[in-house]
């Protein structure tokens, strides 16, 4: 059995990655589209063989309520629209998968979680790497302490982001920390398996580059975990693509580079005997993520990355931003 999905927002991620990922899905099928551009949406519907009446506008999104073939909506809109469209999705009686970062504020995250509870529907945040075998292997090794106790974690996520792009708008997406720095934050939390208690952060916003008029170009930040693990990370919108992490343990290290990309992840494990490259089968991360949510809904199980997981990252983001503003260490509350 396959559950029916509606994709909300037909931007780059939806068109290039998510829609093609349904082809290999076991439990998920594409049924409907929700878009601000009806002509584009009808063209896309034709390509994927959808019934033209299953194309909705943002304004009549709630009409999904009357479409029993749609079980789940997947919100792939600018971050500033995540909360509104998640809550409207619940009102339409659907389960919701929402892209990261969950929302620009802690308050919105809380309201999204509450709305799901009120509706009796599930909320999952789209952390695709949690449904990807190599990152899952790294998590398992760290939980079992296969390389001894963890001491430090380091991660970088940088890329060149040029205008026009929602990521350069303070309102729509809010800059590199929530967009790509979040991968470092999420990885630190899933690798360490704890919640950070305090953070420090620094931001750089060049005054002579038009694209960084509204948002910082980059951040460097540290997180302190209860067991004493220290994590240091950086993210930037002005340097060549790099997406990696390394976990330093008493008896060795795990290195993943790239760690956050859609494909081609590479993991090396260092022990006293030497360093080995892990051979782990690659999956389509979007197929795997969507099928995991369909399976959670079908079996009435909590998703592995529920709203609370998105909220936890947003709390860390807010603390790093506060530290960068104040120049002080900030507690994560």
Query: Which residues of this chain interact with ligand NAD, rule CB under 6 A?
Result: 9-14, 36, 76-79, 99-100, 126, 128, 166, 172, 179
| Tokens standing for residue 302 | 């909590």
> Among this protein's residues, is 100 annotated catalytic?
yes
Least separation in angstroms between CB 312 and ligand NAD: 17
Alpha helix stretches (DSSP H) within 102-181: 106-119, 133-143, 176
| Tokens standing for residue 107 | 């308050």
Least separation in angstroms between CB 67 and ligand NAD: 21
Closest CA to 88 of 59, 45, 68: 59
Distance between CA atoms of 166 and 125, rounded to whole angstroms? 19
Question: What one-character DSSP code corresponds to residue 12?
Answer: H
Least separation in angstroms between CB 230 and ligand NAD: 27
- Pick 9 or 176: Cβ nearer ligand NAD: 9
Question: What one-character DSSP code corresponds to residue 16?
Answer: I
Least separation in angstroms between CB 11 and ligand NAD: 2
- Pick 76 or 247: Cβ nearer ligand NAD: 76
- Pick 92 or 180: Cβ nearer ligand NAD: 180
Residue nearest to ligand NAD (CB): 11
Burial class (CB in 10 A: 0-12, 13-18, 19+), 321: buried
Strands (DSSP E) found in the chain: 3-8, 28-34, 55-56, 72-75, 95-98, 123-125, 150-160, 198-204, 218-224, 230-236, 238-249, 252-256, 267-271, 274-277, 330-331
User: Which member of 56, 61, 74, 183 is catalytic?
Assistant: 183
Distance between CA atoms of 241 and 220, rounded to whole angstroms? 16
Distance between CA atoms of 95 and 294, rounded to whole angstroms? 9
Least separation in angstroms between CB 9 and ligand NAD: 4
User: Which member of 94, 100, 122, 318 is catalytic?
Assistant: 100
C-alpha distances (whole Å) from 91 to each of 64, 72, 86, 119, 131 are 10, 12, 9, 7, 28
Least separation in angstroms between CB 161 and ligand NAD: 10
Residue 29, beta-bridge partner list: 4
- Pick 152 or 261: Cβ nearer ligand NAD: 261
- Pick 10 or 87: Cβ nearer ligand NAD: 10
- Pick 225 or 245: Cβ nearer ligand NAD: 245
- Pick 198 or 306: Cβ nearer ligand NAD: 306
Closest CA to 24 of 299, 262, 292, 288: 288
Distance between CA atoms of 233 and 317, rounded to whole angstroms? 12
List active site positions: 100, 183
């Amino acid at each position: 059995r396959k559950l029916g999905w509606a994709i909300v927002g037909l931007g780059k991620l939806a068109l290039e990655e998510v829609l093609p990922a349904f082809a290999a899905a076991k439990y998920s099928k594409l049924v409907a589209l929700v878009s601000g551009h009806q002509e584009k949406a009808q063209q896309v519907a034709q390509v994927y063989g959808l019934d033209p009446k299953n194309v909705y506008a943002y304004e009549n999104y709630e009409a999904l309520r009357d479409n029993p073939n749609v079980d789940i909506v997947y919100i792939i809109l600018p971050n500033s629209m995540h909360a509104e469209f998640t809550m409207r999705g619940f009102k339409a009686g659907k389960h919701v998968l929402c892209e990261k970062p969950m929302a620009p504020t802690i308050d919105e995250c809380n309201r999204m979680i509450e709305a799901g509870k009120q509706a009796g529907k599930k909320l999952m945040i789209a952390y695709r790497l949690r449904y990807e075998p190599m990152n899952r292997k790294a998590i398992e090794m760290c939980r079992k302490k296969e390389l001894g106790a963890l001491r430090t974690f380091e991660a970088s996520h940088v890329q060149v982001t040029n205008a026009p792009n929602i990521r350069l708008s303070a309102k729509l997406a809010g800059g590199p920390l929530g967009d790509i720095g979040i991968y470092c934050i999420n990885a630190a939390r899933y690798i360490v398996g704890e919640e950070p208690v305090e953070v420090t952060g620094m931001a750089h916003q060049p005054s002579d580059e038009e694209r960084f008029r509204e948002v910082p170009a980059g951040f460097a930040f540290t997180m302190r975990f209860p067991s004493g693990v220290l994590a240091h990370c950086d993210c930037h919108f002005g340097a060549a693509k790099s997406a990696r992490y390394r976990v330093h343990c008493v008896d060795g290290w795990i290195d993943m580079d790239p760690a956050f990309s859609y494909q081609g992840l590479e993991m090396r494990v260092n022990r006293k005997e030497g360093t080995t490259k892990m051979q782990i089968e690659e999956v389509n991360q979007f197929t795997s993520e969507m099928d995991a949510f369909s399976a959670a809904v079908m079996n009435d199980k909590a998703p592995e990355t529920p709203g609370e997981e998105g909220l936890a990252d947003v709390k860390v983001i807010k603390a790093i931003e506060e530290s960068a503003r104040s120049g002080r260490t900030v507690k994560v509350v």
